Each structure stands twice: as structure tokens, then as C-alpha cells.
A and B are shown apart, each in its own frame.
Chain A
């Protein structure tokens, strides 16, 4: 039995007939060919498959494609706009927040979601928010710096009216 679904991924609309058991991550990777989203485990621990579904970070290995029907999905491929990197991507580059790069798409999407709800997180808040994402290469220190870098950058380029703590604290 196949189910018809319609999703918007990175601003583009797709209609597909899928098995009800097809995981969203396999749909993105194998059906749509969006291989930027990775699979690092089978128990929802590692977060390599993190994407945004209707604005919220989800582990796409734990969502069926049919559950995303009608949804709006953002993957790492959709972050840069007109060839310009998103500040979170830039932050990972600037601060050497990646080595092998395999966890990176998930880390970037989880960090993006964090900064959407908390534009100026402390180090502890960043570490807590990324608890669902594992990295084996970096020891996380530069990932924390990357998120802090993005937070400062976003504060400069997208000022929000709400009162905020001064960005720019960093632990070296």
C-alpha cells in the first residue's frame, strides 16, 4: 500500500507516493536525493538526521514521511540564501566547529532551532540544547563557539526589538 503525501522542502513542493513505514530521513535522502541530512544511529540518540518540520527541530529518523504530509521542512541544503551562508553555517566554518562533517548538518539545524527560540544562549544553554546531537570529533568546544559566533552575528544583522543581553561573551 502506498500513501500520497505532499511536502514543502526548502521552499519547493513535492508530491510522492510512499510506503507508510518509510522514514522521513529515507524519504529526504533516497526519494528526494537530499543527502545532506545524515543517518548516524537507529535509536534517535545521535541527531545527525535533525531537520526542521513546521519550524521545530525533529529527528527525521523518528518521523514517518507520512507524518510530514502537508508539512514544511527545512534541511541543511535550504539554509543558505542566494549563495550566502546562514550565520550558523558561517559560525561552524569560522570557529572550526566541524571535522569529519558527518554530524554537522544535524548540529547546524539543531543550533538554528536553538537560536530561533533563544537568540543569545549561554554556554550552558547551548550545551543543554544540543544534548540530542552527538559529535565524535570536536569535543564540542568549537561547536559551542560556533553557536556563540552565530548568535553575535545574527544580533548584528537582525536586531530584534526585545531587550537582550549583550552578545559577545565567549570563553576561550
Chain B
């Protein structure tokens, strides 16, 4: 598809008018007559046996209608499935409510419904639960050792799975290396923290036997399938609606207990049931992101060529396998080569259950973890060799004429120009001047040190060859167009981007196009919005469906104009015959005739003007980029400020640069958030210490910089749009850039760069400075 007036244009969003006037409909905005409100009592313990539950007082509280325990739910509802378990893994699926024991703080123990929100909340305080606390597993490395308390006794171990593999001659490379570096890196747990907490409204109508679920989900079709299997209901009797959804960042991919519980109450009581998560619940009951401990060892030659990489990862899965919990750390493995030609690699991955909230996809989902360890590694090598980090990267890049390129770990990259992106960002940032300023500050002995951090990266996106998606493009008899998609955007702006694609292809004004998503009753089976797939996979389906519709419209117009289709031209909403200007028919007339065919049409002309197309990509896409973070580190207090941020990102063709830049801004912000501010902290007993926005530092506007962006455009051959997806790119690039900048700033003080860990809070940085100074004295 060519970049044109519409495709590639900065078009304002179609979504916005409703959202800026308070006219959006989020799940908690849905109100139905006779609706009950659900509340969930959650475990205060990380690991404990449930000895006794007494619902008596709660059930007699005014307004309370019913309550359920885990034992009762177990009789009628299966645990939440996990997608594609790893072969041979020990699978611990989450039951909707705890059965027999609780395995993390925040696990649901009792659910109840009442006539009002406040009554339901009051009644939780009246539920009596007696626990027998057990020792908790907090550290995944220890949790897999012999003697650690076993969380799921039937599995006999906390080790869910391990993967051990190597390619090339790793031992030989280490023996022949000019030097080696080691580091132990912490990918701390994060709270995804979509601004809208989770919510569900379940409405079972006994007459038709249908269950309608409004839910804050990123993938309504998957939720429908999961609910059907958990509740033993026919899939076609369940309708899942994702109305306006207030962000997800991966956390709303999962199916959660509350969807099933609200459905159970609604089925049992014949009344609609609503549950709206509170933020403090969200910290405990919605998945966490990241959570890896990484040991890396790098072998390099005298020119800084990386000859081998050894990686050992402990992935902190938390207490259960939710939708993709087990799979996320394996994505780290697929991207261990990054944009580099590393020939010899060995990896070990241990997926370990702990007494914590399960982890799962959070923006980047496994790939920031890979980029982080690689980019830290390259900087450590540069530091050892006393070379500029750009030099070491250039030495190792996969060259731009090598694509498609199969990496040593076996991933096949579609297209790329890594050195080109690096060159661009160096110019954009005026790198030489930055290095000069850094030296000047040092010579002057400035209190604020300048740090310059680099990240060159590639990610795996456009999920996936085994996850096709679809679109229906339906031209209505008046000529307006309705687009149905199996993706489920929740902030990304595809109502606009998809409309641009259709407007371009069909020549219909943007305002005459409506994009429908997030309703399993009206949209074909899709995989939702995740893994930066909506545009490259769903958007391509839209494009192909529009093309099919256009071909049929041309055929119909040809009949009406009494010429062969090859004689028909189309422009400005009119089909016409070249050289016979008065032989023309409008788009609207063609649309109308498609549904009320005139007698002159051939008998085999099938009425209607619509098409449903599934697009199955042949490969993933591999967006890439180069980022430079410029930080100031206060050598007295350890405070770090990002003073400038330069990013060159390549997501292939940009259908709407405005939306692309928005995704990059937000993505970079979440990377910086992990670098400097955010960190989930559990104590030794598995208590969640960062349990609210009072003690978990999501950055506010004053804590983040402005970003300077420039595009690099290397189309993907994997889809006709040439678009690679951009949702996760910013986060993946930003995570190592800022930490490398902090390490860079601290080097002159004698701080070992390998010791710098996220989050680079003032305390942590200050301690590093103090330790280095003590060593020097």
C-alpha cells in the first residue's frame, strides 16, 4: 500500500470526541436494572491454609444477596486456562477462588454480592476466615531449591519448567576470548497500572440462555472461549463486549477470576452483576510485569566483537500460570541475539512459582528483558575496552544487506537497518557535543554529572503467524462503510487508523466510516490487541477486505456502465469510463445497486457489497531503533533526572504518524518509569509493601521529560502495509538507555557499571556513589 494523502497522514482521532466530552462508555459506566454489586475478600497472607470460612454474619448483613467460597465455585467452574503450556511443564492453573490454601496476598477467598457497592464492601468485613500461615517463597532462585516450601503440593516442586540450550561453540569462544564480563541484573517486578482498573458486568438472561459480559479486556474472543470452557457453556451463548477500555499494557489480556465469578452469580440469581476493581486490589489481583533475575557472561575479542553470550534467567512466575505467564520469559530467549551477530549462545531459563501475584505480559513482555541484558552487556564490554559504546555496537550489528536474517538463536528477522538508526540518533542528539559537555562538567567538578546512555534494539512483534486476525468491510446501501475487526484497541487509535486505510482504498470520506471492535457478537473471532499486532495483522486484514470490496464494486460499476471492468476508473467517489466523461456512476449508486440489483445485472451476480478476510502473516515483524538518554545525576543526593531523550524508531510504514508518536511517547515513559521510579517490593513474608499509588511511584507529568523523535522507515515484507507495529517499541528501547546513561554518569566516580540496578532511585544511586568513594579512600 502506498503512502498517500490519507495513509501516512497525521489525522486527528475519530475516538476523541466522545472521550473528551465524558461520552465514553467504560465497563464501570454500564448500568443495568436490578444490578447487584460484587466484592471479593482477598487473602492477607502470602501462603496459608484456609482452616475455616464463616459467611453467617456477612450473609445477614442488609443488602447482601449471596456469597461463594472456593470449594463451592470449584463444583461448577474450572480453573482459568493457560494458552500453550510449555511441553512437560508443571502447570498450576488459577481457580477463581482459593481452594484449601491461599498462595499470594490478594488471592480471592470469598466473593459476595449485594444491592449496592457500599453494602458489598461492608459485608467483606463480616466474613470470618481462619488461616494457618505457612512459610512463603519470595525469591525465585531460592524457591526452586530443595527444602523450599512447596506452593502447589501436587506438583511436588516450585519449578514450573526449565529450558537449557546452546548454539555454536560457547565453551571454545570463552576460552579464546580476549576478555569476558559478567553481571547479575535485576528486572524488577512492575505494576502495569492501566488508569482504568479492571471491571466486569455479567448479565445472564435465563429466557434465551445467553450470558453477556462487559469487561475491561484486550481480547474479548479469547475471554469468551475461556469462559465457555470454565463455565461449561456453549461459546455461541456468550457475548463478550469490550466497551471503551482504559488502557491495558498487557494486563488485560488475561482472563481473571472475577469474570467467572460475576457470571456465576448472574446465572445463579438471574440478575446482572457488576464488579469494579479498586486500585489497591489492582496492585494485588491484576498481573504484574517483568520479574526476572538475569546472570549474564559475555566473551569478546580485542575489537569488541561479541563472540559468545551465556545467560541464566530465573523468571518469577508468581503463584499461578495465567494466560501467558509461562510464555513471557521464553520470548526473552527468542530475542537473545538482539540486533547483533553473536554466533555462540547458551541459555538457561527457570520458570519458578513464588508466593506472589502472577506475572504476565506487560508492555514489551519478555523483549525489554532481552534488550536490557544485551544493551547492558555491550556497554560493559565497551567500558572494559575503553571504547565508545557506539563503536562496540557498530562492530556487532547485523548488516542491513543481510535480511531476511536468521539469528543464532533461530529467529528470522524480516528487515532492518540498525546502523542507519544509530547514525540518525547520533545526529539527532548531537552526540559529539554531548560527550564534550560531559567532559567539561567533569573538568569543572560540577555537582551534576552528565550521563549519556545508548540503546540499539530490535523486537519481535506483529503476533503472530499462529494468531491470524480478520476484518469485515461492509458497505451499507447508502455507501457508508462499517468495518468490523477481531482486534480490540483500547487507546491505540485504530478506529482512526483503520478508517484511514479504508478511506484510502475505497475513496469514502473518513466521517462515513465506522470501525466496530470489541464485541464477539458482531466481530469475527480474533486475538485482540496485544503484542503490537493490531495494525500489522488486523490492519492488513482491513486493507485486504477493503480491496476485495473495491474489486466487487468495480465489477458492479462495469455492469452498470456497460463496459468491462478494466475500462472502469474510480476517483472522487465516482466510477467512470476513461474518455467518456458522462458515462459515470457514483459510489453511493453502486452501493445501493449492490443490495437492490437491477435486472440488467447477470444472474450470477451475488448481491451485497462486503467482504470478510483473515490475514495470517508469514512471520513476525521486527521493529527496531536507536535511543539516546541524557541524564543528570546529582553526585550529592543520587537524584537522577532525564534531561533529554532522543529516539529514532523504525516500525516500517507509518499509517498515522500522530498515533505512532503517541505510542512512542507513552512507551518511552514506561521504560523510564522502570528505570528510575517503579518497583514492586515484597517483604520476606511475601507481604506486598508497594500496595497503592501512595508507595508505588508511577511518574507524574513533572517526573518525565519531553522526547525528541525521528522516524526511520524500513518496511516489512511480511504484510502489504509494510507496517511493523509500534505499541511496545518505546518501552523496549528506553529500558536500557536510561540505565546505561546512569552507569555512564557514575563511571568517573569509580562506580562499577555492572553494579547499577533498576530502579535507579536516589537511595540506590547514592549508595553506589558512597561505596565507590569508600573504596577509593
Q: Which residues of A contact B (CB under 8 A)?
A: 19, 21-22, 26, 29-30, 33-43, 45-46, 48, 75-77, 79-80, 85, 89, 92-94, 96, 98-105, 108, 123, 126-128, 130-144, 171
CB contact between B658 and one of A33, A46, A79, A96 (< 8 Å): that residue: A96
A128, B702: Cβ atoms closer than 8 Å: yes
For B167, the chain A residues whose CB sits under 8 A away are none
| Docked CA distance A108–B31 (Å) | 25
Q: Nearest-CB distance from B33 to chain A (Å)?
A: 13
B17, A134: Cβ atoms closer than 8 Å: no
Return 27 A-B CB contacts under 8 Å, by A number: A26-B117, A33-B31, A35-B22, A35-B28, A35-B29, A36-B24, A37-B22, A38-B26, A39-B276, A43-B694, A46-B195, A96-B12, A98-B20, A99-B247, A99-B493, A100-B247, A102-B244, A108-B20, A123-B706, A127-B701, A131-B702, A136-B193, A136-B670, A137-B662, A138-B666, A139-B667, A144-B706
CB contact between B701 and one of A21, A29, A46, A126 (< 8 Å): that residue: A126
Majority-rule SS of A interface residues: loop
Q: Nearest-CB distance from B303 to chain A (Å)?
A: 38
CB contact between B666 and one of A29, A132, A139 (< 8 Å): that residue: A139
B665, A139: Cβ atoms closer than 8 Å: yes
For A143, the chain B residues whose CB sits under 8 A away are 701
Contact mask for chain B residues 13-38; partner A; CB cutoff 8 A; 1 contact, 0 none: 10111011111111011010000000
For A132, the chain B residues whose CB sits under 8 A away are 700
B246, A100: Cβ atoms closer than 8 Å: yes
B22, A77: Cβ atoms closer than 8 Å: yes
Given contacts A46-B693, A94-B12, is CB(A104)–CB(B280) below 8 Å? no
| Docked CA distance A135–B698 (Å) | 9
| Docked CA distance A132–B22 (Å) | 20
Q: Nearest-CB distance from A61 to chain B (Å)?
A: 10
Judge if B605 is at the interface, Cβ distance under 8 Å.
Answer: no
| Docked CA distance A99–B730 (Å) | 15
A46, B279: Cβ atoms closer than 8 Å: yes
For B669, the chain A residues whose CB sits under 8 A away are 138-140
Residue on A with the closest CB to B708? Answer: A172
| Docked CA distance A139–B249 (Å) | 14
Top 7 nearest A-B pairs (CB, nearest first) are A36-B22, A102-B246, A100-B491, A101-B19, A139-B669, A139-B665, A45-B693
CB contact between A103 and one of B195, B661, B702 (< 8 Å): that residue: B195
| Total A-B Cβ pairs within 8 A | 178
Other A-B pairs beyond A41-B279, A101-B244, A133-B701, 6, CB < 8 Å: A30-B31, A41-B693, A76-B21, A136-B247, A136-B698, A141-B665
Residue on B with the closest CB to A34? Answer: B22
Judge if B130 is at the interface, Cβ distance under 8 Å.
Answer: no
Which of B20, B668, B693, B706 has the most A CB atoms < 10 Å from its CB? B20
Q: Nearest-CB distance from A122 to chain B (Å)?
A: 12
Q: Nearest-CB distance from B480 to chain A (Å)?
A: 22
A130, B700: Cβ atoms closer than 8 Å: yes
| Docked CA distance A144–B702 (Å) | 11
Residue on A with the closest CB to B116? Answer: A30
Q: Nearest-CB distance from B699 to chain A (Å)?
A: 8
Residue on A with the closest CB to B196? Answer: A102
Given contacts A76-B22, A99-B666, is CB(A93)–CB(B12) below 8 Å? yes
B16, A98: Cβ atoms closer than 8 Å: yes
B702, A93: Cβ atoms closer than 8 Å: no
A98, B19: Cβ atoms closer than 8 Å: yes
Residue on A with the closest CB to B694? Answer: A43
For B666, the chain A residues whose CB sits under 8 A away are 99, 136-139
| Docked CA distance A35–B193 (Å) | 21
A102, B20: Cβ atoms closer than 8 Å: no
For B490, the chain A residues whose CB sits under 8 A away are 100
Q: Nearest-CB distance from A60 to chain B (Å)?
A: 13
CB contact between B707 and one of A19, A42, A128, A141 (< 8 Å): that residue: A141
Judge if B205 is at the interface, Cβ distance under 8 Å.
Answer: no
Q: Nearest-CB distance from A133 to chain B (Å)?
A: 7
| Docked CA distance A142–B666 (Å) | 10
B28, A133: Cβ atoms closer than 8 Å: no
For B491, the chain A residues whose CB sits under 8 A away are 99-101, 137
Judge if B704 is at the interface, Cβ distance under 8 Å.
Answer: yes
Residue on A with the closest CB to B693? Answer: A45
| Docked CA distance A141–B19 (Å) | 19
Residue on B with the closest CB to A19? Answer: B118
| Docked CA distance A142–B700 (Å) | 14
Judge if B729 is at the interface, Cβ distance under 8 Å.
Answer: no
B280, A102: Cβ atoms closer than 8 Å: no
